[in-house]
């Protein structure tokens, strides 16, 4: 049986590109350089799902919850309409916050796990607790890169694999925001691309010497025969929309 599909609510993207939506339970990377509207788009997807009754959780590490809310207001989205259905977990003080939690939990347990591992354990416990309490269906992590820095993975591939599996078992659909790796980045920077179920790539494309156009491309979506073409991405009056790019 086919999995239920999660709509992104980006006009033209669900129907024409994803053939319906993101298969529920997928771990999807939203990848792009700074300023390509990764955070905006991820919040937008969770926002519209929350409005339709599917709760979400937005984990922010790169900016504070207040900073994110200000940006969202600037986009014309009313976060107050979904404050119950789409809470923001502010880990912008990521390491400190998790360390405080480790200290609290640590005083109750005997074992001293290596730091990264202990941080990962409290983060998972926190997300799991919210999953039980709020029954959220969509999760955004902004960003995966920032989280990785906090968690200090030793074996990047194995730990990324383990975390993605944990997300799938949690039964949520995940959007992981991810910076564009530098051109000279080692191939290990691409491991999550193999491990993710989907990749949505955002870009600013020069169209003349001075003008840029936003572009979106669904590079990968497991179990979907997606349209991998480049599309222009428009954001107007609080709505994202895609149109076929004219090369």
Does position 74 interact with ligand ADP (CB under 6 A)? The reply is: yes
Which CB, 40 or 174, lies closer to ligand ADP? 40
CB of 142 to Mg ion, least distance (A): 6
Question: Rounded to whole angstroms, how far apart are CA atoms 193 and 146?
Answer: 17
Closest of 186, 134, 201, 191 to residue 164, by C-alpha: 191
Does position 140 interact with ligand ADP (CB under 6 A)? The reply is: no
Does position 153 interact with ligand ADP (CB under 6 A)? The reply is: no
Select the binding partner of residue 235 from ligand ADP, Mg ion, none (C-beta < 5 to 8 A, by kind): ligand ADP
Does position 226 interact with ligand ADP (CB under 6 A)? The reply is: no
Select the binding partner of residue 173 from Mg ion, ligand ADP, none (C-beta < 5 to 8 A, by kind): none
Question: Rounded to whole angstroms, how far apart are CA atoms 144 and 123?
Answer: 13
Question: Rounded to whole angstroms, how far apart are CA atoms 240 and 220?
Answer: 20
Does position 38 interact with ligand ADP (CB under 6 A)? The reply is: yes
Q: Which of residues 15-34 bind ligand ADP (CB under 6 A)?
A: 32, 34
Tokens of 144: 């995966």
Question: Rounded to whole angstroms, how far apart are CA atoms 129 and 148?
Answer: 21
Q: Which stretch binds ligand ADP (CB under 6 A): 35-43, 152-160, 192-200, 217-225?
A: 35-43
Tokens of 91: 């880990």
Select the binding partner of residue 225 from ligand ADP, Mg ion, none (C-beta < 5 to 8 A, by kind): none
Which CB, 65 or 101, lies closer to ligand ADP? 65
**Contact residues for Mg ion (CB under 5 A)?**
39
Helix (H) / strand (E) containing 50: helix 38-51
Kindly list the distances between the CA atom of residue 228 and the CA atoms of 50, 106, 164, 217, in Å, as whole numbers in the listed order.
Answer: 27, 47, 23, 6
Which CB, 39 or 160, lies closer to Mg ion? 39
| Three-state DSSP string of 77-90 | CCHHHHCCCCCEEE
**How many positions of this chain bind ligand ADP (CB under 6 A)?**
12
């Amino acid at each position: 049986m086919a999995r239920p599909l999660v709509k992104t609510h980006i006009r033209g993207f669900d129907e024409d590109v994803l053939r319906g939506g993101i298969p529920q339970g997928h771990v999807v990377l939203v990848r792009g350089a700074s300023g390509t509207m990764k955070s905006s788009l991820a919040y937008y997807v969770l926002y519209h799902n929350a409005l339709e009754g599917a709760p979400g959780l937005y984990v922010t590490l790169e900016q504070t919850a207040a900073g994110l809310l200000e940006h969202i207001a600037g986009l014309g989205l009313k976060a107050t309409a979904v404050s119950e259905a789409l809470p923001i977990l502010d880990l912008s003080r990521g390491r400190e916050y998790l360390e405080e939690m480790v200290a609290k939990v640590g005083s109750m347990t005997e074992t001293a796990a290596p730091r990264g591992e202990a941080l990962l354990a409290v983060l998972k416990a926190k997300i799991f607790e919210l999953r039980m309490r709020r029954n959220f269906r969509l999760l955004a992590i902004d960003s995966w890169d920032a989280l990785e820095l906090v968690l200090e993975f030793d074996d990047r591939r194995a730990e990324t694999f383990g975390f993605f599996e944990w997300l799938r078992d949690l039964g949520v659909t995940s959007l992981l925001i991810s910076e564009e790796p530098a051109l000279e980045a080692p191939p290990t920077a691409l491991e999550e691309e193999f491990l993710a179920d989907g990749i949505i790539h955002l870009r600013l494309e020069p169209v003349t010497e001075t003008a840029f156009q936003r572009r979106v491309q669904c590079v990968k979506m497991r179990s979907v025969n997606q349209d991998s073409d480049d599309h222009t991405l428009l954001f107007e009056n609080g709505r994202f929309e895609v149109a076929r790019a004219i090369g």
